[in-house]
Amino acid sequence: MPNLKSIKRKISSIKNTRQITRAMKMVAASKLKKNQSAMNEYKAYAKAYGDAVKNISTNTILYSHPFFKGYEALNNAKNASNTGIIIISTDRGLCGSFNLNLFKLFLETIHSKELNLNISGHKIQLYITGKKGLDFFKKSAYDIAFGMSYYEEGSPDRLSAILSDNISNDFVENKMKEVYIISNSYVSTMQQKAAAEKILPIGSDNAGANKKSGGYLIEPAEYEQEIIDKIFKDYIKTKIYFKILESFAGEQAARMIAMDNATRNAGRLINKLTVSYNKARQAAVTLEILDIINGANAIK
Amino acid sequence: MLLNLRVANKKKLVFEGEADFCEIPTEAGIEGIMPKHINFIANLAPGKIKYKTGKKINEIDTAGGGFVEVSNDNINILLDS
């Protein structure tokens, strides 16, 4: 027979846990609202920027910039066989499979692209934001070129600026052939989807083919390179910043759902334990009554 | 023929729609854009973007800087503020 006291202790400890998970759910819900509105505010800017860069990338005239696929020097470079992968994870856990989905996708991505560690001279450089991602990849054999958690840098805005600077520099110096970004995109509160996206080089294979216009006039012409350079570097930053905002919103949504489930499971467990507690108590009472009756009968 | 104008800053989409005419303050001077304008890219200078929709002329402040991209009668203006 299970001990009455131990069951009671168990019930009270689960009740405490339930209280904590319920509070965490509430905190996540309020943070979600804040992060969601930050993401929605920035969405229009990110989209307009993306469209503008897409327009620019359909122009062959600007192929003199190193960020472009058609850039000659890049194709001729011998040592540009590395691949850069940016992973946007979270600082904190307790958000279901949010981070795990990222790591799974990372392994799938390198598998499908046949980027293997065994191929000599081919390295994968990781750029990681978020403590959870850092902890995970520290144990692996991959080369971590950049790793930072969000609280280290204070604001995600500054973090994305530093990260994009690092990536553009490494890319221009021919350290990498391609750069991908793996992050959780925010579909809805109930659904976050891990997705991999190529951010460098800009432009698709047939970029030159669907050329609609005769190039651009860049004004003032003497700063042409600087203007284009700034636009593209800011584009990388905008992209990363938006992904981080998306990930923030998704993290809170995932945490809210995970904590909601935990609260519900705790309630279910309490019900189960209460039933067994009542049963045990009833058995004890019955036993005591039997003892008394037996005692009374013996005296007669 | 109308211009498709889109103006966004980091907080919201300021304007999206069609305009007859658009005036943009750039580092190389104020640029007046009508349909069939040559494609161009420029940094914004502090001033006011003016655009005409119907008979009304609207204004948007560009104090924070940014850039403009014009291609095939599509205007994308990204404000840094």
Nearest CA to A86 out of A142, A39, A13 is that of A142
Phi, psi of B12 (to 5 degrees): -165, 175
Instruction: State how far residue B54 is from chain A, nearest Cα, in angstroms.
Output: 24
Chain B neighbors of A213, CB-CB under 8 A: 39, 71-72
Over range B29-44, report the average pLDDT: 87
A:221-240 residues touching chain B, CB 8 A cutoff: 223, 227-228, 230-231
Give residue A207's pLDDT. 47
What structural domains does chain A harbor?
Answer: 15-260 (3.40.1380.10)
Chain A neighbors of B69, CB-CB under 8 A: 52, 55-56
Chain B neighbors of A226, CB-CB under 8 A: none
For tokens 């279910």, what's the residue?
Answer: A268
What the block records as the tokens of B41 is 């890219």
- In the predicted model, is pLDDT for residue A13 greater than 90? yes
| pTM (predicted TM-score) | 0.86
Picking from B10, B30, B38 by the largest number of A CB atoms within 10 A of its own CB, the best residue to mutate is B10
In this prediction, residue B42 has a pLDDT band, given cuts at 50, 70 and 90, of confident
ipTM higher than the 0.90 cut? no
In this prediction, residue A78 has a pLDDT band, given cuts at 50, 70 and 90, of very low
Using the Cβ of B36 and the Cβ atoms of chain A, whether some distance falls under 8 Å is answered with no
Over range A9-35, report the average pLDDT: 94
How many residues make up chain B in this entry?
81
In this prediction, residue A57 has a pLDDT band, given cuts at 50, 70 and 90, of confident
Helices (H), A58-138: 72-76, 98-112, 131-138
Instruction: State how far residue A155 is from chain B, nearest Cα, in angstroms.
Output: 15
- Helix (H) / strand (E) element for A144: namely strand A143-148
- pLDDT per position as a tens digit, A195-208: 888 887 776 554 44
In this prediction, residue A118 has a pLDDT band, given cuts at 50, 70 and 90, of low
- pLDDT per position as a tens digit, A220-252: 777 777 888 888 888 899 999 999 999 999 999
Instruction: State how far residue B55 is from chain A, nearest Cα, in angstroms.
Output: 26
CATH number of B3-61: 2.60.15.10
Between CA A66 and CA A57 the distance in angstroms is 12
Instruction: State how far residue B12 is from chain A, nearest Cα, in angstroms.
Output: 5
For B39, which of A41, A215, A230 is closest by C-beta distance? A215
Contact (CB, 8 A) for A186 and A250: yes
SS3 A131: helix
A142-154 burial code (b ≥16 CB/10 A, e <16)? bebbbbbbbeebe
Chain B neighbors of A55, CB-CB under 8 A: 69, 71-72, 74, 76
Most confident range, picked from A13-22, A181-190, B19-28: A13-22
Give residue A179's pLDDT. 87
Give A224 or A12, the one with higher predicted confidence: A12
